[in-house]
Structure 1
Amino acid sequence: MKNYSVPALAAALLCAFASLTIMATPGHSADPKSILNASDEKFVKAASQMGLGEAQIAALGVKKSAREDVRAIAEKMVADHGAANTELAALAKSKGVMISVVTDPQDTEEMKDLENEPTGDGFDKAFLAQLEDDHKESIALFEDAAEDSEDAEVKAWAAKMLPTLRAHLNQVQEAQKK
């Protein structure tokens, strides 16, 4: 597995967030320039917020994890979710959808809980449990979009991301057994 330094991961994460910032607007429920139907637009916005939250939680795992295997999972997720977030920002822009860079309040609370967890076995268990929950939720959202999206590009992107999300979930569940 490729080793990533914390500064390199932080830089990659900042690049991903910067690309999302370009698309940021606060509080709009429907974008006047969007060419997507309401359901597809809702998916793009939800996937963006989930990706942002998962990347931030993974970055915390890189910093606080005590186990090398858990840190490696976190590093992989920072890289994968950062790349996916960048792709999604470009797709959203091409569809006229404004996505937010503000973390979902639930993700913010989860981050606070994990930040307050002492580094060590307790953190690793809580971190892996959070990743498992987040990835199960993401997979359900992406499966629906891959099946039901009316926009061909949104549908294809959701389907393309599913194997990675499933692989992440599998890695997390294997790490939980250790």
Structure 2
Amino acid sequence: MNRWIASAACAVSLLAPMMPVPMAHSQSLGEKTGVNSTLGITPTTQDFVTEAANSDMLELAAAKLAQDKGNADEKKFAEQMTTDHTKTSKDLKSMVDSGDVKATIPASLDSSSQKKLDQLRDAKPQDFAGYYDPMQVSAHKDAVSLFERYSKSGDNSKLKDWAGKTLPTLQHHLEMAENLKKRD
């Protein structure tokens, strides 16, 4: 019994530095690290809103950069991202503001998204596609996974329905992003 207690205490002390510090409306460690995606676990409503909002903010900011630095295909893609992600941002904000969804929308990008945006901003025009195109594929794979998981098992019916209706658009974005990458 004492060995078991000692082992458990050791495990807790090893894991403690990796545990997230509780913050108001913080994202769960699983969603932040993609573990939930890998395991197919449904995000909490707050995690879904946080991830969806971060995705929209990153897409909108990246699209602005693509309009300046991108090639013709990237500019066309960025135009579509601006239209669609502006709509999803408004939809999400409306659901939260109305009280239909009890969550907080982040006011700014999380550090991981900000790092990606900084890389795009710092890229020279001739190197831009090498950053933007794979980032778009990765970001849309993550978004499709997030929206699929929430639309199947989310705990807020209105948000769950919206995620399901939005999913085909995100799947189309993923196809478009994969085609961008093929042209490189």
* TM-score, normalised by the number of residues in structure 1: 0.75
Q: Distance in 2 between matches of 1:152 and 1:172?
A: 30
Residue 125 of structure 2 aligns to a residue in which SS? coil
Deviation at 1:28, TM superposition (A): 2.2
Residue 111 of structure 1: aligned partner: 117
The answer to whether the 8 Å contact 2:77/2:176 transfers is: yes
Check the 8 A contact 1:53/1:104 in 2, yes or no. no
- 2:45: which partner in 1? 40
Structure 1 partner of 2:140:
135
**Structure 2 counterpart of 1:29, one-letter code:** H
Q: Report the Cα offset of residue 41 of structure 1.
A: 2.4
Q: Distance in 2 between matches of 1:177 and 1:149?
A: 34
Residue 17 of structure 2 corresponds to none
User: Which runs of no fewer than 5 residues in structure 2 stay unpaired?
Assistant: 1-22, 27-42
In 2, Cα distance between the equivalents of 1:117 and 1:169? 22
CA RMSD of aligned residues (A): 1.6
Equivalenced residues, count: 143
- TM-score, structure 2 length as denominator? 0.73
Q: Is the 8 A contact 2:119 2:131 kept in 1?
A: no
User: Greater helix percent: which structure?
Assistant: 2
Q: Deviations over 1:115-148 (max 9, x none)?
A: 111102x212320111111111111111100001
* Counterpart selection for 1:51 from 47, 50, 56: 56
Higher relative contact order (CA 8 A, sep 6+): 1
Secondary structure of the 1:101 match is coil
Structure 1: gaps (5+ residues): 1-26, 31-37
Distance 1:168 1:57 in 2: 14
2:117 maps to a residue whose letter is M
